[in-house]
Amino acid sequence: MIDLRSDTVTRPTEAMRAAMAAAEVGDDVYGEDPTVRALEERVAGLFGHQAALFTPTGSLANVLAVAAVVAPGQEVLCEARAHIARAELGAHGAVSGLTMRTWSHPRGQVDLAVVDELFAPDLGPYFVRTAALSVENTHNFAGGAVVPLADLQALRAYADERAVAVHLDGARIWNAHVATGTPLADYGAVADVLAVCLSKGLGAPAGSLVLGSADQVAEARVRRKRLGAGMRQVGILAAAGLHALDHHVERLADDHAHARLLAEACGADPAAVDTNIVTFDRSDAPVFVARAREAGVLIGAVGARTIRLVTHLDVSRDDAERAAKVLASL
Ligand SMILES: Cc1ncc(COP(=O)(O)O)c(C=O)c1O
């Protein structure tokens, strides 16, 4: 089977497993796991932030990052198909007590004119107040679309003028970095808080990080423990992340090339494929998914009509070519 359902299906390579087995560990709740600390320091440094916190999942990293800048009863604005709005099962409301309003863009982009219509300044004890603007880069449900740095910088300037925060869901920021050549520090500079994942394109079995100021991350550490996600000898997982940073970032360009090849085979526009995700609509989506499975290719539907293909570390050039043939024949 060639599995194109998600870039989260990868299995650790032998070299990654060796790095995990050799990891020096300690009790991270006591702050004594040297491998976790090394990972946190390295990732904070890459994005030019003061501090970082390791979390088991990207969803938790987003919950902690947003809660660092939005208090209960305040709101965050984001795009309508953002992961924080659609796929974290209401955690930001249920756990952090905040509300959300959304703007829509077919490619998950920032539309400052619409953001401005939504934006709610502090009008006293009558209205919910906007405390943060959130953006996802790359945007998962918008087909792995990159949000251009210039647009992020404009959002940053807009937020600064209104003294509100910017949250960046950078689960796949590595893909945006490789696709555009934008330095990670430039992405770090546009956001007060970020969530980044090691378990998507980078191929680690688990692990994400929250980035922000030393104070924000210290508070996120308290909240992480409160939610039961303080982990002990978790350097074993952090070692997988460090290995991924050393070996799996630049190769994301291969995933992007494979995605364009698959798009072409499916009649989608390869020029619209920014990174490792291809989405296209078919009225017979469930049947198409079932027939692909029978032919040895696992793909997913992310809506009644929308098909999604995702390339990753465990899809070789040969796999991509074989899958392209199967999908073209269907
Ligand atoms: C854009 C984005 N943010 C956050 C997450 C959450 O990551 P996790 O599945 O580790 O909770 C995902 C998961 O696919 C994602 O695509």
Find the 199 Cα to ligand 1 centroid distance in Å: 9
Mutate which of 134, 197, 224 for ligand 1 pocket (most atoms within 8 A of beta carbon): 197
Per-residue pLDDT of 39-56, as tens digits, reads: 999 999 999 999 999 999
Ligand 1 proximal residues by C-beta, below 6 Å: 57-59, 62, 83, 136, 140, 169, 171, 197, 199, 208
Counted residue by residue, the chain has a size of 330
CA–CA separation, 143 and 262 (whole Å): 13
Find the 318 Cα to ligand 1 centroid distance in Å: 27
Q: For the residues 135-148, what does the mean pLDDT come to?
A: 97
CA–CA separation, 74 and 63 (whole Å): 14
CB 238 within 8 A of CB 34: no
Give the rounded percent of residues in the chain with a pLDDT score beyond 90.
Answer: 98
Per-residue pLDDT of 159-212, as tens digits, reads: 999 999 999 999 999 999 999 999 999 999 999 999 999 999 999 999 999 999
Confidence (pLDDT) at 320: 98
pTM over 0.95? The answer is yes
Mutate which of 10, 64, 83, 141 for ligand 1 pocket (most atoms within 8 A of beta carbon): 83
- Residue 194 Cα distances to 22, 187, 315, angstroms: 29, 9, 28
Find the 83 Cα to ligand 1 centroid distance in Å: 7
For all residues of the chain together, what is the average pLDDT? 97
Closest C-alpha to ligand 1, atom 4? 58
- pLDDT over threshold 90, residue 86: yes
Confidence (pLDDT) at 303: 82
Find the 312 Cα to ligand 1 centroid distance in Å: 15
Find the 302 Cα to ligand 1 centroid distance in Å: 14
Find the 58 Cα to ligand 1 centroid distance in Å: 5
Confidence (pLDDT) at 304: 86
Give me the DSSP letters along 219-276: HHHHHHHHTT---SSTHHHHHHHHHHHHHSSTTHHHHHHHHHHHHHHTT--GGG--SS
Per-residue pLDDT of 254-293, as tens digits, reads: 999 999 999 999 999 888 999 999 999 999 999 999 999 9
